[in-house]
């Protein structure tokens, strides 16, 4: 309990104001915004101020919405590394390359992450994250949208890890919203994380808590689990107890993760764990409802998000324009690991073809679903 109290004291001290201060002390805005980027903010339905970022271009061919993963923040996920322990940069980043390819780019720090409001590393509901991305898209497609954005432009969603799950659910809610999705090690299943040593029993309990009906569980087990669920929900939803795997393939990235003061590098909070599990459980029987074109990248060595979830999505999605790229030279953090520029180039080529189709300038046929190693 002593370690838990210490962790809670440390992580809860990283309020949104403190995180902003630490981030601003480490880096000048121009280093991550580049020559044309700008920040803005909106207040979400929970009353949190959500930090948002725009990187527009003149005469864009489309708009890319970036969504980051659990524990991260937008620029950390898509900026260029300047070395271990140093802030990420716009120059040479995924954002920069997307701008150079003719796309305006936008994204947010999810609530409880980066410069956004909310308890650090905490959400009450996964659906709130989806709501915030849909709200951002509405802002960028409304009349009077910022320069470089607008309803006439094809919109693409790019999501890493948990961000892949967020943007996929946004596309399922608003079926005409995106021209295509690029999902990078998306959080569609957490079966491997459940099997990790130290998490098996805890995550089994959390899985039961995420589904109050405790499907398939004997009545005697429900009798034990349901009172626990009430106690945890009422008393300790913010306890950070769920451990996640470290990156053995790219240890410098694990070190960099630990050194960034605005990265949530602590055990996952109990409520967050239940919500991530619930999001995957919600998706599992609904994959056939996915109609948006898909390009999915996943390593079979990923211990955090289960590649079988990506395989199931590409197999079962109703969309006929879907591709799974098995990238076993990677681990999990696909925008930062060595060789990520190859994935970026492929993603941009894929979006170019579909942006051209939306504009009526593409005459070739887009291939149907397939898996490529």
Q: Write the DSSP assignment of 277-320 as a string of letters.
A: HHHHHHHGGGGGG--S-EEEEE-TT-SSS-HHHHHHHHHH-S-S
Work out the mean pLDDT of the chain and round it to a whole number: 88
pLDDT tens-digit map of 105-118:
999 999 999 999 99
Question: What's the mean pLDDT in 37-42?
Answer: 98
Residue 276 contacts by C-beta under 8 Å, 6 or more apart in sequence? 70, 126, 162, 165, 187, 190, 268
Other CB atoms closer than 10 Å to residue 204's CB: what's the count? 13
d(CA 98, CA 145): 20
Least confident residue range of 15-19, 100-104, 157-161, 269-273:
269-273
Please answer whether residues 70 and 160 qualify as being in contact, where contact means their C-beta atoms are separated by less than 8 angstroms: no
Please answer whether residues 89 and 82 qualify as being in contact, where contact means their C-beta atoms are separated by less than 8 angstroms: yes
Question: Which domains does the chain show, CATH number per domain?
Answer: 2-192+249-259+283-372 (3.40.50.1820)
Report the predicted TM-score, pTM, of the whole model to 2 decimal places.
0.89
Strand, helix or coil for residue 268? strand
Please answer whether residues 62 and 106 qualify as being in contact, where contact means their C-beta atoms are separated by less than 8 angstroms: no
The pLDDT of residue 210: 44
Residue 5 scores a pLDDT above 70: yes
d(CA 126, CA 162): 10
pLDDT band of residue 362 (cuts 50, 70, 90) is low
Question: What's the mean pLDDT in 32-57?
Answer: 98
d(CA 105, CA 224): 49
Least confident residue range of 28-37, 149-158, 188-197, 206-215:
206-215
Higher-pLDDT residue of 88 and 247 is 88
The pLDDT of residue 141: 96
């Amino acid at each position: 309990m002593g370690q838990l109290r210490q962790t809670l004291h440390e992580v809860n001290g990283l309020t949104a104001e403190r995180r902003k201060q630490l981030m601003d002390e480490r880096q000048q805005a121009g280093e991550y915004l580049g020559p044309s980027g700008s920040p803005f903010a909106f207040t979400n339905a929970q009353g949190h101020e959500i930090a948002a970022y725009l990187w527009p271009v003149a005469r864009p061919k489309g708009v890319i919405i970036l969504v980051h993963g659990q524990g991260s923040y937008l620029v950390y996920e898509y900026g260029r590394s300047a070395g271990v322990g140093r802030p990420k940069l716009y120059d040479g980043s995924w954002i920069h390359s997307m701008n150079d390819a003719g796309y305006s780019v936008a994204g947010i720090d999810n609530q409880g992450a980066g410069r956004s409001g909310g308890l650090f590393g905490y959400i009450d509901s996964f659906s709130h994250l989806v709501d915030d991305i849909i709200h951002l898209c509405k802002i960028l497609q409304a009349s009077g949208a910022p320069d470089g954005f607008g309803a006439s432009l094809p919109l693409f969603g790019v999501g890493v890890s948990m961000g892949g799950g967020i943007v996929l659910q946004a596309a399922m809610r608003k079926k005409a919203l995106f021209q295509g999705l690029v999902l990078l090690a998306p959080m569609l299943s957490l079966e491997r994380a459940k099997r990790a040593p130290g998490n098996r029993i805890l995550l089994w309990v959390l899985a039961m808590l995420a589904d109050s009906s405790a499907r398939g569980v004997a009545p005697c087990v429900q009798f034990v689990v349901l009172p626990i669920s009430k106690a945890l929900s009422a008393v300790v939803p913010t306890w950070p107890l769920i451990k996640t795997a470290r990156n053995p393939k790219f240890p410098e990235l694990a070190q960099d993760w630990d050194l960034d003061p605005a990265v949530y590098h602590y055990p996952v909070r109990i409520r967050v764990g239940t919500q991530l599990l619930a999001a995957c459980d919600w998706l599992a029987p609904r994959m056939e409802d996915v109609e948006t074109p898909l390009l999915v990248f996943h390593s079979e060595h990923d211990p955090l998000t289960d590649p079988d979830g990506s395989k199931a999505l590409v197999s079962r999605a109703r969309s006929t324009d879907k591709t799974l790229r098995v990238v076993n030279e990677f681990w999990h953090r696909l925008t930062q690991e060595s060789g990520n520029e190859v994935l970026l180039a492929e993603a941009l080529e894929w979006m170019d073809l579909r942006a051209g189709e939306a504009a009526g300038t593409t005459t070739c046929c887009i291939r149907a679903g397939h898996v490529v190693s």
